[in-house]
Each structure stands twice: as C-alpha cells, then as structure tokens.
Amino acid sequence: MNTGVRTRSEELYERACELMPGGVNSPVRAFKAVGGTPLYFQKAAGSRLTDADGREYVDYVCSWGAIILGHAHPSVISAIGDAASRGTSYGAPHEGEVTLAEEILKRMPFLDRVRFVNSGTEASLAVIRLARAATGRNKILKFEGNYHGAVDTLLAKAGSGVATFSLPDSAGVPSDTAANTLVAPFNDLQAVRALLEANAGQVAAVFVEGVAGNMGLVPPQPGFLEGLKALCNEHKSLLILDEVMTGFRVSVGGVMERYNVKPDLTIMGKVIGGGLPVGAYGGRRDLMEMVAPLGPVYQAGTLSGNPLAMAAGFATLKELDASAYARLESLGNRLETALRSAAANVGVATQVQRVGSMISVFFTEQPVTDFTTAQTTDKALFAKVFHGMLKRGYYLPPSALEAWFFSLQHTEEDMDRTAEAFEASLREARA
Ligand SMILES: *Cc1c(COP(=O)(O)O)cnc(C)c1O
C-alpha cells in the first residue's frame, strides 16, 4: 500500500522514535517480529480499532486480553467517569477496593486474600518476595516460553534441554539472579521432578501460566496441572498460578476454576482492570498475612487500588456471567472451525489451538505442546499473513508467538469474515 504519501502512523512513528526507545512503550508493539511500521491508534469501540489515519480494524489484540467486553463498553466508561468525578486518587482506602476484592474472592474461592498493585509485573515481583520469605528458599522454577512480566528472576529461559542454571534472557540481569531460576519445558512433569530433586530443599516456588498464552496458545496436557500441584506438595514448594492473562478470560474463575487446580498464590492483571493499569496477587491466608502491614514482607504502591481502575475492573467483572463465557466459547468455536477450514483450503499445515476466547494458529505440522514445538511455526509465513490481514482490516498480534484475543462485541459475522480474510492472506502469502 505504498502510495508515496506518508501515513499519519508513519509520521507519528518517526517522531516517537526520537522520543521513546523504538518509538514504543512496550517492545512487541513495534512490529519488529513482522516488519513494517507500527500503527498508532486514535480510538476504539466494540470490536474495532481506528488508526491515526482513520482506517478501521477488527481487533484481535484487545489490549493483550484486557478488553474482554469490547472497547469503550458503556458500563465501564460510565463507571470510570463516575469514579473520576469523585477524584482520581486518594492514597488512602476506599470502597471500590473492597467491592472489587469481594468480587474476585467470590469468583476464585481458592483465594483467601488479595492485594491490588498496578501491573502483572508488579504482582509477579511481590509474590516472588513472598514465596521466598515464606519458604526460606531462593530458587524459582518456571517454564520455558511462559512470561510472568519483566522481572529479573523470571526473564530466563533454558539453554539446550533442561538447564540447571539458566542464562538471563535480558541484558542487565545479574548472573547470580539468573542462577536462582530453574527452567523446565512446559507440559513436562518429568523435567520438573528432576529439577526439584536436583535442587532439593531449595525451590521456593513453581511459577506457571496454567494455560500458556505467551508463546502462542498452548493448553496444559491432561494431568499436567494436577501433577505440578502434587510435585509442589511433595517438595514443599509453593505453586504460583499466573492468571494475569487467563483470569476471568477463560472462565468465571480463571484457570483455577476451569481446571480445578488450587494454587498457593496467584497473580492477576489485564481483565481485572477493564483496560486500566491494574495487577493483583492473592492466595492462602497464612501466606498473604505475611505481607505488610500484618507481616514482615514489604510491598507498597502509591497508586495501588486506584479508584478509576477498581471501578473499571468491577464494571467489567459484573458483565462476565456464565452466559458471557458461553457466548465467548461459541464465538471461539466458530472462529476455530473457520480458520481450520481456511488453512485446509489453501493446503497449509496448521495447528489451531484455543481455550475460550484465546486462540492461536501455528504454521507447523507438529502438535504444539511446549516452547520448542511452538518455535517450529513458520514465522516468515506469519509475517506475510499478518500484513495481508492488516491490509484487509484485521489487527492480529504482531508476532507469530502471541495468542489472539476477541471480545464479547465480536460477532459471528466478524468470525466468518476473519476466516475469509485469513484464507485470502494465506493464499497471497504462498503465491
Ligand atoms: C501480561 C502478562 C504479565 C505481565 O503483566 P503486565 O501488566 O504487562 O506487567 C504477566 N503474566 C502473564 C501471563 C501475562 O500475560
């Protein structure tokens, strides 16, 4: 679509690059994995995003899962407006925190207590400290391809095979920090057992995305989460279920409800803020009571429990009853089936994987069960399909290894048209 005329997005990107690293405030937005210039957006409503040039897109990013009701949902907007009219921050307790905490604990009965922070990353930092304090151990076990925020301890991946001590995945992470991180392949209980045995008495916690959504969508295999819980019990390590992406997206009570797994601690974010910056952590009462001011584990935040964010989160959860999840399931099923036949029509080997309103298309013949198999997806083909979809008015996550999200405002019509555009983009990419 090179008309020789610069788009407003291109102009903004050029200015942004002189102001912010890579022109963005979070790396994946920069289109590095797919090439081209990132789009800058001016507004969003329902299932649609409008870019700075006025072009409209069906949104499959939905703010990385946060926007489950669709953009600018009237109840969320009015809750935010009402809260804002009463002041934007008090730095002191208020009713909105109590109301949202009650709603979360009602939906996640395995949690006894919760604390609000401002992002998933912050929640992650807090539970690592808490787990270490509670167990008197330092090591954390995580899974390759799972993401738990931009946290030193968790920015590690395995080398070849299961590394005992992993290398940091980011510059600036001290090697002694990375040495406290153990990494196992997702869905591999044998590897977890081996690591826990090799580091007996040293592993404070096992962190897991129960449904992995940050290497594309990779569901847990039957027995994986139960097995993990049993191994944690056996080794007296805490199980930390990361529900930042899945919480209140995959069911009324997240992964813990959908798969009936009881974590010791959990972290949340995204949906619970209804598009405003929120995170939370919660879990067993005895553990949560170790947090200040009741206990010795310090954690604090000037804007934590922000009135606007609490109001947006509560208004969002209020709309999410059993029928909302049934609706998302049915839309998802329609999209999944249509994408599968689209790929089959073009004759491209794909794995379409879905849990609720999170879905991924891997261009590979191999079943995708972990990071290694996720990496077999044809990334060059994805980059072409991504741009084909963009041209046709569909905004997919700008990386082959990210899940796609949709909202309650997406329609059957959207799903069918999306699959048609996908088929056309795939044909074009292969031509
Ligand atoms: C997004 C995400 C995080 C980090 O949350 P931020 O709010 O971006 O800091 C942590 N864990 C998972 C599973 C996520 O998807």
Residue 413 sits in a domain of what CATH number?
A: 3.90.1150.10
Q: Are residues 50 and 99 in the same domain?
A: no
209 C-beta closer than 6 A to ligand 1: yes
Dihedral Cα 263, 267, 271, 277, nearest 10 deg: 170
Final residue before a domain boundary, out of 319, 342, 368: 319
Q: Are residues 304 and 333 in the same domain?
A: no
Report yes or no: 284 and 264 within 8 Å, Cβ to Cβ: yes
Report yes or no: 65 and 249 within 8 Å, Cβ to Cβ: yes
266 C-beta closer than 6 A to ligand 1: no
Q: Are residues 301 and 351 in the same domain?
A: no
206 C-beta closer than 6 A to ligand 1: no
**Which residues are CB-neighbours of 210 under 8 A, at least 6 positions away?**
220, 225, 241, 242, 243, 246, 254, 255, 256, 259, 261
Judge whether 47 lies within some domain.
yes
For ligand 1, mutation pick of 118, 127, 148, 217 (most atoms within 8 Å of CB) = 148
Gap between the Cα atoms of 153 and 174, Å rounded: 9
Catalytic choice (139, 142, 229, 270): 270
Q: Using the atom order of ligand 1, give the atom closest to the CA of residue 120.
A: 5
Final residue before a domain boundary, out of 299, 319, 339: 319
Q: Are residues 232 and 121 in the same domain?
A: yes
Q: Are residues 290 and 334 in the same domain?
A: no
Q: Are residues 241 and 287 in the same domain?
A: yes
Final residue before a domain boundary, out of 319, 346, 381: 319
Judge whether 1 lies within some domain.
no
Q: Are residues 50 and 187 in the same domain?
A: no
Helix, strand, coil in percent for the chain, rounding step 5:
40, 15, 40
Q: How confident is the prediction along the chain (431 residues), in pLDDT tens digits per residue?
A: 556 789 999 999 999 999 999 999 998 899 999 999 999 999 999 999 999 999 999 999 999 999 999 999 999 999 999 999 999 999 999 999 999 999 999 999 999 999 999 999 999 999 999 999 999 999 999 999 999 998 888 887 633 333 344 456 788 888 888 889 999 999 999 999 999 999 999 999 999 999 999 999 999 999 999 999 999 999 999 999 999 999 999 999 999 999 999 999 999 999 999 999 999 999 999 999 999 999 999 999 999 999 999 999 999 999 999 999 999 999 999 999 999 999 999 999 999 999 999 999 999 999 999 999 999 999 999 999 999 999 999 999 999 999 999 999 999 999 999 999 999 999 999 98
Q: Are residues 52 and 183 in the same domain?
A: no
**DSSP notation for 61-75:** -GGGGT-SS-BT-HH
Residue 270 annotated among the catalytic residues of the structure: yes
For residue 239, the domain's CATH number is 3.40.640.10
Judge whether 65 lies within some domain.
no
Judge whether 155 lies within some domain.
yes
The domain tally of the chain equals 2
List alpha helices for 347-411, DSSP H: 371-374, 379-391
CB-count exposure of residue 104 (10 Å: 0-12, 13-18, 19+): buried
Judge whether 204 lies within some domain.
yes
Q: Are residues 300 and 335 in the same domain?
A: no
Report yes or no: 220 and 145 within 8 Å, Cβ to Cβ: no
Q: Are residues 213 and 238 in the same domain?
A: yes
Residue 242 annotated among the catalytic residues of the structure: yes
Q: Are residues 348 and 232 in the same domain?
A: no
Judge whether 66 lies within some domain.
no
Say how many C-beta atoms besides its own lie within 10 A of residue 234's C-beta: 11
214 C-beta closer than 6 A to ligand 1: yes
Report yes or no: 161 and 153 within 8 Å, Cβ to Cβ: no
Bridge partners for 280 per DSSP: 116, 268
Residue with tokens 């741009």: 387
Domain assignment of residue 378, given as a range? 8-60+321-430
pTM: 0.95
119 C-beta closer than 6 A to ligand 1: yes
Question: E strands within 119-192?
Answer: 139-143, 156-157, 167-168, 181-184
Cα distance from N-terminal residue to C-terminal residue, the chain: 18
- In one-letter notation, the amino acid at residue 75 is S
Q: Are residues 303 and 405 in the same domain?
A: no
- In one-letter notation, the amino acid at residue 87 is G
Judge whether 165 lies within some domain.
yes
Judge whether 377 lies within some domain.
yes
